[in-house]
Amino acid sequence: MPLAAKGAWQVTAGVLPGTAMKEYTARWVYDSVEYEEDGKHAKEVGYQPIFMRKLVLATAYYTQISNPAFVNWIRLEFIWY
């Protein structure tokens, strides 16, 4: 089966509103293989879905850089394809 994106999280941040800085930009992609893997293990007790792990990584990064000493704005976006 070909690999296809199912969803993605992207964090962008910067000093000037709307102008993202590369050093504060990160992206996590959830693909079709991971989606199938989560589906296979969905009913297993203790299984940590890949989807949730990537969500946690994105939100942790957002929180980590939420510091006005570094940036003046931050955006966390999620898209489901």
Q: In this predicted model, what pLDDT tens digit does every residue of 19-54 receive, in sequence order?
A: 999 999 999 999 999 999 999 999 999 999 999 999
pTM of the model: 0.89
Segments forming the whole domain that contains residue 14: 5-80
Point out which residues pair with 76 in neighbouring strands: 11
Give how far the C-alpha of residue 12 lies from the chain's centroid of Cα atoms, to the nearest Å.
11
For the chain, the domain total comes to: 1
pLDDT at 2 over 80: no
Give which of 81, 80, 70, 79 is closest to 10, Cα–Cα: 79
Distances (CA, A) of 18 to 15, 40, 72, 76: 9, 40, 10, 13
